[in-house]
Structure 1
Amino acid sequence: MSLVAACAAAGVLAGPRWQWLPIAAGALAALLLGALRLRGPRPGRRPALRAAASALVLASCLGAAGAGGLAAWAVPVPAFPEPSGPHPVGAVTVQWEDPGREETWTDDPRDHRVVVARVWYPAAPDGAGDRAPSTYLGRDAAEAETVAEGLAAGFGLPGFVFSDAAAARARAVTGAAPAAGPHPVVLFSPGLGGVRTQNTVWAEGLASHGYVVAALDHPYDSAVVVLDDGTEVRGAVEATGDPAQDDRLARGWADIRAADLDLALVRLLEADGGPLAGLADPGRVAVAGHSLGGAAALLAAEDDPRYHAVVNLDGLPRLSADASLPQPLLALVAASGTGGAEGDARYARELDAAFAASAGPGYELTVPGTAHLGFSDSPFLLPPLPSLVGSLGREETARITEAACLAFLDSALNGGGADVADTLSGLGRLTPKP
């Protein structure tokens, strides 16, 4: 009865969550067991057998309740921090089409490449009015549920596991009136199978400090992309198991993403209406990415003077041997490594080659206590396992990532700010690159 009461109280306070189902089942079984015991022993029932059966049922009840409690702890209701900068943050979702580029994932020659972007920007002090913060994973609740199911499928989990993320709210306000521009721009590509909102905390933090951040969904690569007309485009990337073939495929996927970033830059700078008009400064543009998105960012910046800085969040560079990067480069590296000595050696070798191709200055920052997924919003969504998201807790990796990027971008794009090397040295193990 105490367990039933605790479940009811927790459900009322926290709201309905799937994690309460096993707890409620355990509580109900315990209540039934208690009712049976109140009836007293039945004639002919052996006391020892009755006690063993009761103990087994009670252990099952406690096990179910414990499993539900563990699930509630491991997959929490996302609680995103307030952006750290002085500006409130607005956001808008846009769709851009490239009529000159055929969609390589389909056979229809009339199908042209389309990308969907979430754009965060500094808002005017009273630009949000009384509107509520935006839905985290999509334009509305229906899209958020679709994206949550797609992300869960990417981890091999049932769709309801990320139902709390589907219901979560970000800090930015959709359609808030923007602060007068122009502002420096950061284009962002997520990890393999990732979605445009996977680095929302980071993007909102940059926007609160005066940056316009445009993060992309890459159709057929992202877990699921919902187009303006409601069409759902599911991810189609798939490894073959052959390392050489998978490397070629990954380079091809990164090339497509790089072209998507170029499209986003053109459309963002061309914006002549809505909240994005006049916001982007073509003289202050950075390109960034996480994991495969980091590789795409480097490919987009190759020999392209439109980009003035590059940020690689733990991505394996896939540049050609004669690549040239006319920009400074910041690389954040997870201290947990790739999971194997061979992978670590290749990553270090490719990263050194990227720094050698860069015009500099270059900064390689290895952050103690971090894992690969920690450089996204994953610590707010996934179990806090060190091998999965690092050991810094739910907010610390996000704080370090934002602080490192702000120091680098303020120097590279705005020509000011604190000493980059000094700031980065306080955030991890810094290796300056010539």
Structure 2
Amino acid sequence: MRKLTKGVIYVIVSLVALTAASAALLYGFAMPVRSMPEPTGPAPVGTVVYDLTDTARRERYAQKEPAPHRTIRLQLWYPAAEPAPHAPDSEAPSPWMIDGRRQIRAIVANHGFPSFLWDHTLFMDSNSYRRAPLAAAPTAEARASTGDASGSAPAATLPVVIISHGWEGYRGLHA
């Protein structure tokens, strides 16, 4: 009887281990950690994040009292100089989602998904560098390559502006 019990336990443990390994393998195929496409421009991409607070207004939908002041996150991307080989703030690419876990939990809760569904995105990096130094202004030669030797064409001087449309706006919409 004792040998039968050990055999049954061995089979059960083996089946549980096989099921867990299969689930992990399938999750890896279903939710892969992807690489972001490389930027196609001539310069690396720098990014900086600001949290702006409106001290004149309180957050309307806050759960705690007193409600905190309204804040909005502003993230800017810009042409950057080549990152220094040993610069601590800009040597590694910035995470794809700056607030990672907090952002992921909010997205899955809002859409009714299981909480683990987007966890794989925590391991994704963007192709931008936090607080990288600003690139030098384009030379006359670079401006001429855009078809405007004078450098006064809007295409050569104006930035690209990306605006979110409200509640569901997050960086992934524009990546």
TM-score interval, normalised by the smaller of the two chains: 0.5 to 0.7
The SS at the match of 1:119 is: strand
Distance, in Å, in 2 between the alignment partners of 1:180 and 1:78 is: 31
Secondary structure in 2 matching 1:72 = helix
Aligned equivalent of 1:198, options 155, 166, 172: 172
Aligned partner of residue 187 in structure 1, secondary structure:
coil
2:104 corresponds to 1:129: no
> Per the alignment, do residues 152 and 102 of structure 1 end up closer, same or farther by CA in structure 2, a change over 3 Å counting?
closer
> 3-state SS of the aligned residue for 2:119?
helix
Q: 1:80 to 1:191 in 2, by over 3 A?
A: farther
**Counterpart in the other structure of 2:4:** none
Number of equivalenced pairs: 141
What is the SS of the residue equivalent to 1:170? strand
Gaps of 5+ in 1: 1-31, 37-56, 202-434
The answer for the alignment partner of 2:48 in structure 1 is: 92
TM-score by length of 1: 0.28
5 Å matches for 1:166-181? 166-180=122-136
Cα 1:61–1:190 shift into 2, 3 Å:
farther
Deviations 1:403-432 (A, max 9, x none): xxxxxxxxxxxxxxxxxxxxxxxxxxxxxx
Q: Which structure 2 segments of 5+ residues have no match?
A: 1-9, 86-90, 138-156
Structure 1 residues 73, 105: closer, same or farther in 2, change over 3 A? same
- Give the direction of change, closer, same or farther, for the CA distance of 1:63–1:97 in structure 2 (3 Å limit): closer
Distance 1:191 1:100 in 2: 20
Partner residue of 1:186?
161
Deviations 1:8-45, CA, capped at 9 Å, x for gaps: xxxxxxxxxxxxxxxxxxxxxxxx44xx9xxxxxxxxx
User: Alignment partner of 2:42: what SS?
Assistant: coil
Question: Are residues 99 and 61 of structure 1, via their aligned partners in 2, closer, same or farther at CA, if it must alter by over 3 Å?
Answer: closer
Q: CA deviation at 1:144?
A: 1.6
The code of the aligned residue for 2:172 comes to: Q
Identity, % of aligned positions? 32
Q: Which amino acid aligns with 2:53?
A: E
- Alignment partner for residue 117 of structure 1, among 74, 86, 96? 74
8 A contact 2:94–2:130 mirrored in 1: yes
The 5 Å alignment of 1:255-270 reads none
Q: CA deviation at 1:133?
A: 0.5
The answer to whether the Cα contact below 8 Å between 1:78 and 1:164 also exists between their aligned partners in 2 is no
Distance 2:122 2:158 in 1: 31
Does the aligned pair in 2 maintain the 1:96–1:116 contact within 8 Å? yes
Q: 1:195-231: CA deviations, max 9, x gaps? A: 3x22352xxxxxxxxxxxxxxxxxxxxxxxxxxxxxx
Q: Which amino acid aligns with 2:100?
A: A
- The 8 Å contact of residues 60 and 67 in structure 2, kept in 1 or not, is answered as no
TM-superposed CA distance for 1:174, in Å, is: 0.3
Q: Structure 2 vs 1, CA of residues 90 and 82 (structure 1 numbering), >3 Å: closer, same or farther?
A: same
- Structure of greater relative contact order (alpha carbons < 8 Å, 6+ residues apart): 2
Is the contact made by 2:46 and 2:79 (CA closer than 8 Å) also made in structure 1?
yes
Residue number in structure 2 paired with 1:148: 104
SS at match of 1:150: helix
The letter for the 2-side match of 1:188 is: I
| 112 and 153 in structure 1: CA distance in 2 versus 1, 3 angstrom threshold | closer
- After superposition, the CA RMSD in angstroms is 3.6
The answer as to whether partners of 1:150 and 1:159 remain within 8 angstroms in 2 is no
The 5 Å alignment of 1:15-26 reads none
Q: Which amino acid letter does the alignment assign opposite residue 72 of structure 1?
A: G
TM-score, length-scaled by structure 2: 0.62
Q: Superposition pairs for residues 10-409 of structure 1, below 5 Å?
A: 32-33=10-11, 66-105=22-61, 112-124=69-81, 126=82, 128-130=83-85, 131-138=91-98, 143-180=99-136, 183-189=158-164, 192-195=167-170, 197-199=171-173, 201=175
